Structure 1
Amino acid sequence: MRRGLRFTLTAIYTGLFTLILAAVSLLFRQNLVSNLDTQARDDLEQNWTILKGYMRIVHEGDSKYKPVWFFDQDDQEEASASVRVKKTYFIADQYGKPVETSKVWEDSLSTDSPANIRKVLASNQAQWRQVKDSGGIPYLIRAADVVSEDSKVKFYVAIGQSQADSEQLVNRFTLLCLALIPFGMLTGFGTGWIFAGRALKPVLEIARAAQRIGGSNLSLRIPAHGSGDELDYLIETFNQMIQRLEVSFNQVRQFSTDVSHELRTPITVVRGQLEVALMTARNEEDFREAIVTSLSDIERLSQIVRALLLLSQAETGQVILQKHKLDLVEVLETHVEQFQIPAEGADVYLRFEKRSPVCEGEFDQIQLERMISNLLTNAIKFTPAGGKITVSVENLGDIAKIVVRDTGRGIPAKHLPHIFDRFYRVPGEQGHATPEKGLGLGLSFVAWIVRAHSGSIDAQSEPGKGTTFTIRLPLDGGSAPSAEDAVTTHAVQG
């Protein structure tokens, strides 16, 4: 049977709580036993002091000795003390022969062995031991030597004290602990179940919120608790994942929309041309003309698909920049030279301005050349004959500033914010987009390349006077600006 996380946490908590309770109980029991043993030894030491103060072993002649008790029988305290001491005691000579034994000792306790008696007498030290009487009652025994009154003979003297009350107290405490442990387990399980439920409540809320998030509402986010704990970190990570999914879904939707929109017209045109050819063509030349026209449109379809795939791969991080240390002045000057022939063919004057001798940084040369190519291609297409295009590069310390300025027809203010959108083309004079001018993807590539280099691009335009693109790229590989800051546009009022 599969156990839930709440049950698992509760079981772990209960197990730890039970172990701690058992350890504490054992510790207290050991402490109780130690205290009772210390108290019993103190009592026996006190009784031993009383015995030595009240008892004398006197010589009676013929090598006979007898213990004699000296105390004031009228003194209730002394009488009580002597009775307590005489209750359990044993006296033997140096050969192990009993001299005097109390009734309790005689009836219940075994006589010490001669070997142990000789050992105690030889050591001149007190001996402590635990014994049990015939009924199983524990006794604490203290044994030592006592010298006769004439200081000629050593005698073995042992006194004892019953530990029945102490043993009973320890047993009761043990039973109490054994009874408390199951109760503690139940209490620990209940408490752990409650606290585990409270601790996992935010996790359940996260799960419920995640269940509400689908492909149609990826904009939803799980609210954080603001406590700054691990759950807030989990929520933040989850929200970041949802944000990435939202971006990916939007890119997929945008790609699908772009493809369906851009491919619909060329496919319709190709189909129409072929249908007309089938119905009206009379000879091989008519069919050939229809096929050539269709192939031209199909090539345009291929260009659209290739450009879309490349742009989608770039925006999803599948295109990795191959950065190397480059001199932008040298790279751009060489690349601008390659556009002199197309510019001359369009009767447009193209000039490169070197405003700094050197401008070195870490860049992807292929992507930078693609960026400049797209900007120059647009500038040449939309600049009338006799116009002028200027490309300049300047080293501003930690930033490279690239400016592409033309004297073309310019971009109306209402269209300027959309020029970096995919497939967006500024309408011509009749208000219609001009497909022959391009796919509408060039500036989208430019914006991605700039963002990939952690830079920014700004477009300024004035209808009838031209457009200026200003690109700033960090030379030290700084952090990328936000999407809003990376691409900006400004309309210039004439």
Structure 2
Amino acid sequence: MRLAEFIETSSEPILIEWVAFAKSCGPAAKLMDEAALRDHASEMLRAIVIDLRSPQSSLEQSEKAKGNADSRPADPDTAAEVHGAARAWSGFTIGEMVSEYRALRSSVVRLWVKSCGTLTGADLDDVVRFNEAIDQSIAESITRYSTDLDHSKEMFLAVLGHDLRTPLGAVLMSSQFMLDTGELIEPNLTLTKRIAHSARRMNEMADDLLDFTRSQLGSGVPIVRARIDITRTLRHAVDEVEAAFPGRTFEMRATGDSEGVWDGARMSQVFVNLLSNAAQHGAAGSPIGVQLLGEDEEIVVIVHNFGAVIPPSALFGIFSPFKRLTPGAPVSHDASNLGLGLFIADRIVKAHSGIIDVTSSFEEGTSFIVRLPRDSKAPPAPLRATSRTDRRARQRAED
């Protein structure tokens, strides 16, 4: 009996063993009934039978072995893809899901050999085709599982960042109102200032979470373009970081035409991030250089500092999310950030059709270089609902 016929006629014993194994797959399985444990196993077996009976050239077999099976974007979800999504939703780990396929492979071959007694050369071909089909199903399930899980995490971060803003807004407004009265005395004055400062930092972190999830979920970092003089934006950013790091010296120099069409508040966000990084990681007592060059078609901004060199291994992927410039370094006074600053800066610059790069060596120091075309050809993003912090930054950038 060929393997396709055996699977077709013996699907129930195979499914019984599938359910028995699935029940042993961790805590999530213990909360599921038999129908949920079976999930799409029956449909996956039917797909394997169809695959075994379909003619396959040597080239097609080679492509499948490489994971390049014929799959078109317009096709509906396969049974294996739906199974991966269901297991992710049910709480199975990816290892537990893959182990189901290992058990299925073992059950089918064992029951088939037991039924047939001996295998012929044609049967060995069936085993090869069967293993290819199982591997393809595993690949489809893992891809869907990972995609859905990542999407769920990103949605969680988006909801968290959004919902944090309301209570933080209340804390920030209340503490600022108490400070504005001018009636607080020590130690209440110092404590209230700390509350206001911490609330602002948390609000910035919530903004970073929202920007991160927007970029990951496909909508991108929202940009609102207007004609501005970016020298003013950069100077405001230097003033802001100078106030936050009173012990650091910034030397700014701007030459050439610095007008163009950009989102001033967003570019201020980029500059503050780069300047803060330089202040945190630069050598004490060494000035931080800030240079703006207005060229014919673009402007170039360079933030330079001497200090600890960024190792080559860290330069690769430095603009990835949750990445820190100096992994394992002592926690600084501003280390409450999420490691999203450079990632968001990169996304903002790219949304302006620009480029951000970094070089670092002991001799030359560390330089972050931002290149922005004067008039971005990228289509404007939809308008966003701005927070109080965003509005304040936008007003500073346009002054």
The structure that is helix-richer by fraction is 2
Q: Which has the higher contact order (CA 8 A, sep 6+)?
A: 2
TM-score bracket, shorter-length normalisation? 0.3 to 0.5
**Larger CA Rg, structure 1 vs 2:** 1
Question: TM-score, normalised on structure 2?
Answer: 0.45
State the TM-score, normalized to the length of structure 1.
Answer: 0.37
Which structure shows the higher strand fraction? 1
